[in-house]
Structure 1
Amino acid sequence: MHYIAEWKGQRFDYRDSGSGPVILLIHGTQSDYREVYHVEKLIAAGYRVIVPSRPGYGITSLHLADTPETLAAFYAGWLASRHIHRYTVYGISAGGPTAIALAGQNPAVTSLVLACAMTQRIVLPYQRILIQPVLQRPLQLIQWGLWTYVKDKIRKFPQEAAVRMVEMTSLLPRETIRTHLSETDASLLYEVGLQNGPGRGVLFDITQDLEQERLEAVTCPVLIVHSRSDRAVPFEHAERARRMIRHAQFIESKSPGHLIWIGPSARRDERMIERFIGLNQMT
């Protein structure tokens, strides 16, 4: 179910579906409360999944928070106000820093999943120019134009569009990617491509950073899942988390790119995440 809430003077939207142990899923770039990856399977596995739209996505204001730490504090307080005092945090891609900050020394968090997650600032070409306030409106218009084009191609050429979508976030050549994608993968990417879109939250995503102390503060059980073929969030982000969170478990995904829910190990990775969450909800 889609809800619109107001807390501490901030208006935001979120999805709250399923019943059972709670998972707070923190989505990645150019997504929102409608996040597709793994959500329905988690609900089917007996979990209640809450997915808030992060700053700059959905109806959530970009000004709701300016750092992963302030966003984490907002989520912790909001969940406590709803009498939710025990939950797993599942951080995807650019949602990783907030997930880590939220899990650090927070007794309410029973476990942390980092899926292709950022653990430090992403460095982009011309980043200092891209974050200038005067350019935000033109960049928004460019994003809208690009996504309109992409969605048109997805509808007309779904199989080829799936390959190109993965290629944008992969270190592998196009033909290799093609051999890794199944019809199920193409169907999922079709759904993702039509659901995702531009958002001002990109500005939050590319400027967020995470100090080493935040990683070292995480004491709850942690599972890291990442692919070496990831171009969008390089494998070094997973390696940093493994160094700083010494008790973390790690699964190397065989995904052909950024998205661990795509490729030959996708269902294995999802089941391992579900098992990890289940075991740590019981303790």
Structure 2
Amino acid sequence: MTATLYDSSNGLVEYSYQGEGPTLLLLKGGHSSRETDLSHSGLIYEGYSLLTVSRPGYDHTEVSTGRTPEEFAQTITEILDQLEIEDVTVIAISSAGPTAIALAVNHPYRINKLILEAALTTAWNPKTKRQARLFFGRGGKVIWKSIRLMLKVSPNLAVKQIMSSLTTDSVDDYVSKLSSNDRQFIYDLLLSSRSGKGFMLDINHKVLDMSQIKVPVLGMYTQKDKSVDYSNALSLQSNVPKCEIYEVKSDSHLIWIGENATNVWKKRLEFINN
């Protein structure tokens, strides 16, 4: 998708906007770049416009546009105003959860529905923060360069290393059951991943009081997600008044692949359309 840079009151924001019809706002997760596509681009062919906004520290979006979810939620409303978009359905992935929640809590009139896909609704635990700083802090570029090199030399080993942090199953069993399309999905994901300065912001994000969310919410989670624990789904369900949890029968954080991927797609569309 062609990227656009918008000069907001707090700095540059990168976004892409394509399609025709009601607008869906897509907020990608941690390590995701403009090239990362977890299949959501297909929503354009379902009769929707897709507004994809790169979060602070990712792509060309400057950190100054929002060091906290609340700050960036305000910046997003500037983009909506610039594009003359009254309201949107928000789709938030993984680490983008707190930003989407801040948007729903502080700017409820700009959102009509919220979809959280394997998204964080709780703060990061200290152990995960330490690991994140170790691997994706100053040495983040080296880590991703090594992963991409490993994909060329030993793709199976590269996939196993990444998936070991995303599935509660035996990683050997998980990888052995991947279809060729699912394996390609993971390759493309790894090739497009960048931490930038964004991931170090993500790990310090706090979640606002979700009981203040008034719009309908759909949360899609799997119990086998090692990265975003299922407790995030339970927290969402217990705090948000209008909330539906769809338990995905997926074997990892990557709920967009595998045998249940079609059901995830159908459930998302059903929620958007109704």
TM-score (norm 2): 0.91
State the shift of 1:217 in Å: 1.3
Q: For 1:173, which of 147, 166, 170 is the aligned residue?
A: 170
Q: For 1:242, which of 220, 237, 241 is the aligned residue?
A: 237
State the shift of 1:194 in Å: 0.7
Partner of 1:22: 23
SS of the aligned residue for 1:219 comes to: coil
Partner of 1:139: 137
Indicate conservation of the 8 Å contact 1:15/1:34, yes or no: no
CA distance in 1, matches of 2:128, 2:258: 32
Indicate conservation of the 8 Å contact 1:116/1:258, yes or no: yes
- 1:126/1:43 Cα in 2 relative to 1: closer, same or farther (>3 Å)? closer
State the shift of 1:45 in Å: 1.4
CA distance in 2, matches of 1:129, 1:221: 34
State the shift of 1:151 in Å: 0.8
Partner of 1:148: 145
Indicate conservation of the 8 Å contact 1:166/1:256, yes or no: no
CA distance in 2, matches of 1:247, 1:129: 35
State the shift of 1:155 in Å: 3.0
SS of the aligned residue for 1:273 comes to: helix
CA distance in 1, matches of 2:116, 2:132: 27
Indicate conservation of the 8 Å contact 1:20/1:47, yes or no: yes
Partner of 1:277: 272
Percent identity for Structure 1 against Structure 2: 26
State the shift of 1:103 in Å: 1.7
Indicate conservation of the 8 Å contact 2:17/2:51, yes or no: yes
Correspondences of 1:1-283 after superposition (within 5 Å)? 1-104=2-105, 106-125=108-127, 127=129, 139-140=137-138, 142-211=139-208, 213=209, 215-279=210-274
Indicate conservation of the 8 Å contact 2:66/2:72, yes or no: yes
CA distance in 2, matches of 1:163, 1:84: 42
Aligned amino acid, residue 253 of structure 2: H
SS of the aligned residue for 1:125 comes to: helix
State the shift of 1:129 in Å: 9.9
Range moving further from structure 2, 119-128 or 5-14:
119-128
- 1:129/1:33 Cα in 2 relative to 1: closer, same or farther (>3 Å)? closer
Q: Which runs of 5+ in 2 are unaligned?
A: none
Indicate conservation of the 8 Å contact 2:8/2:78, yes or no: no
Indicate conservation of the 8 Å contact 1:180/1:264, yes or no: no
* Coordinate RMSD, CA, aligned: 2.2
State the shift of 1:202 in Å: 1.2
State the shift of 1:113 in Å: 0.2
Indicate conservation of the 8 Å contact 1:17/1:48, yes or no: yes
- 1:126/1:162 Cα in 2 relative to 1: closer, same or farther (>3 Å)? closer
CA distance in 2, matches of 1:208, 1:77: 21
SS of the aligned residue for 1:162 comes to: helix
CA distance in 1, matches of 2:37, 2:146: 21
Range moving further from structure 2, 73-82 or 220-229:
73-82
CA distance in 1, matches of 2:236, 2:267: 19
Q: Deviations over 1:128-161 (max 9, x none)?
A: 7976xxx99x932x21111111112223444553
CA distance in 2, matches of 1:247, 1:184: 35
Indicate conservation of the 8 Å contact 2:18/2:50, yes or no: yes
- 1:61/1:264 Cα in 2 relative to 1: closer, same or farther (>3 Å)? same
- 1:220/1:206 Cα in 2 relative to 1: closer, same or farther (>3 Å)? same
State the shift of 1:269 in Å: 0.6
